[in-house]
Homo-oligomer: A and B are copies of this chain.
Amino acid sequence: MMIDLNSDMGESFGAYTIGADEEVLRWVTSANVACGWHGGDPQVMRRTLQRAKGLGVRVGAHPSYPDLLGFGRRIMQITREEARDYVLYQIGALRAFAEALGVRLQHVKPHGAIYNAAVGDRELSLGIAEGVADAGGDLILVGLPGSELVRAGTEVGLRVAREAFGDRAYNEDGTLVSRKIAGSLITDPDAVAERALDFTRGTLKAITGKAIRIEADTICLHGDTPGAGAIARRVRERLEAAGITPRPMGEFVR
């Protein structure tokens, strides 16, 4: 069983600091690095890549809508061509820093609202996938299992990684329970760790109690929740205790 642990990183901006990057980075295998459109700036990008390199964590781009004010969390109606070119721009900017540091980009994980919008939006997903394909470099596109994004990625010839969320409840159809519903967020480190283990077995108990199938290549560990560092550590340790060593997605996703 192969599993990757990913987390969003480098979302600080100018004088503003956000996230528990240093604590979480120690436990993950892949870091999604913000590219300046919802968070991150050129100096934060360099610093984040340096840190990840120092810890041997693989890095990818975390592109967003152009919405710093909304931290990329608000859906915007952009065209397929805009999506393609926005994603390509951000990958390119980040890659210049990666190459300067002697690091290769491994993957692309869209951020926040554009990730969510892409779940059911084929045109948007194709735009994102085309932007990643245009970037070359055999980048892996990360998306929700069963989403249009994963489908579009496959369609344009990309490797894709399917992502699961240890701290979110699931509906029986494999979609995430809305954050507005009580019980949708799981904050107990042990519970999150247990679910992470479930993902490696391809199964999960939905919020209704019913066991469902879920296929995941990578598990998202949020860096901006309280206790993020502690949760990340528990997940990592629980997996390793079960004999599973998380590996960067680039090593096993085809």
Q: Is A223 part of the contact surface with B, judged by Cβ < 8 Å?
A: no
CB distance from A56 to the nearest CB of B (A): 22
Q: Contact between A71 and B15 (Cβ–Cβ < 8 Å)?
A: yes
Q: Contact between A69 and B14 (Cβ–Cβ < 8 Å)?
A: yes
Q: Contact between A76 and B85 (Cβ–Cβ < 8 Å)?
A: no
Q: Contact between A71 and B39 (Cβ–Cβ < 8 Å)?
A: no
9 other A-B residue contacts (CB within 8 Å) besides A14-B68, A92-B94, A93-B93:
A15-B39, A45-B89, A46-B85, A46-B88, A67-B76, A75-B77, A76-B76, A90-B93, A92-B92
Pick from A95-103, A165-173, A182-190, A204-212 the stretch touching chain B.
Answer: A95-103
Q: Contact between B89 and A42 (Cβ–Cβ < 8 Å)?
A: yes
What sequence of 0s and 1s flags, for each residue 1-26 of chain A, a beta carbon within 8 Å of any chain B beta carbon? 00000000000011111100000000
Tell me the complex Cα distance, A18–B16, Å.
7
With A42-B88, A85-B42 as contacts: A96 and B99 at CB distance below 8 Å: no
Tally of A interface residues using CB under 8 Å: 45
The 6 closest A-B pairs by CB, nearest first: A92-B96, A42-B85, A16-B16, A15-B71, A100-B134, A42-B89
Q: Is A36 part of the contact surface with B, judged by Cβ < 8 Å?
A: yes
Q: Contact between A78 and B89 (Cβ–Cβ < 8 Å)?
A: no
Q: Contact between B43 and A85 (Cβ–Cβ < 8 Å)?
A: yes
Q: Is A244 part of the contact surface with B, judged by Cβ < 8 Å?
A: no
Binding site for B on A (CB under 8 A): 13-18, 36, 39, 41-43, 45-46, 66-71, 73-78, 81-82, 85-86, 88-97, 99-100, 113, 134-136
CB distance from A13 to the nearest CB of B (A): 7
Q: Contact between B69 and A41 (Cβ–Cβ < 8 Å)?
A: yes
| Residues from chain B with Cβ under 8 Å of A135 in the complex | 96, 99-100
Q: Contact between B71 and A74 (Cβ–Cβ < 8 Å)?
A: no
Subset of 22 A-B contacts with CB under 8 Å:
A14-B69, A15-B71, A15-B73, A42-B82, A42-B88, A43-B81, A43-B85, A45-B89, A46-B88, A67-B76, A68-B68, A70-B76, A74-B77, A74-B78, A85-B97, A92-B96, A95-B96, A96-B134, A96-B135, A99-B135, A100-B134, A100-B136
